[in-house]
Amino acid sequence: MKKCTNCSEWIKEEDKYCFHCGVKVEQTLKPEGINRKKNDIHPYEVVTVLFLILSFPIGLLIMWIFRPFSRNTRWIISVILIGISLLGLLLIILWTSSPGYLY
């Protein structure tokens, strides 16, 4: 077992391509990792970002199934989005339960 230099997921020693992110894995893992070009965007990244904007629960689901980002990035996006939605829900509850709110 070895770690993917791009997404830090565990992959087989003999694998040439990462099962999780599709990035080519070098036989000798260099600390500088893979130099990804700016125009070299993974198609899953585009789909995931699109769904995260349009409908974040679906976007989160796609993100965790297809794993276009590293584990840390996935956690950060999930925590931020869930945090925002919970905060919004809390504000709605506080607002609707306040004495000044008229039905």
Which of 1, 4, 42, 95 binds Zn ion (CB under 5 A)? It is: 4
Distance, in Å, from the CA atom of 69 to the CA atom of 49, rounded to the nearest integer, reads 11
CB of 80 to Zn ion, least distance (A): 22
List the x/- string, 18-57, binding to Zn ion by CB under 5 A. Answer: x-xx------------------------------------
Burial of 25 (C-beta count, 10 Å sphere; 0-12/13-18/19+): buried
**Shortest CA distance to 84 belongs to which of 95, 74, 92, 72?**
92
Which of 1, 2, 3, 7 binds Zn ion (CB under 5 A)? It is: 7
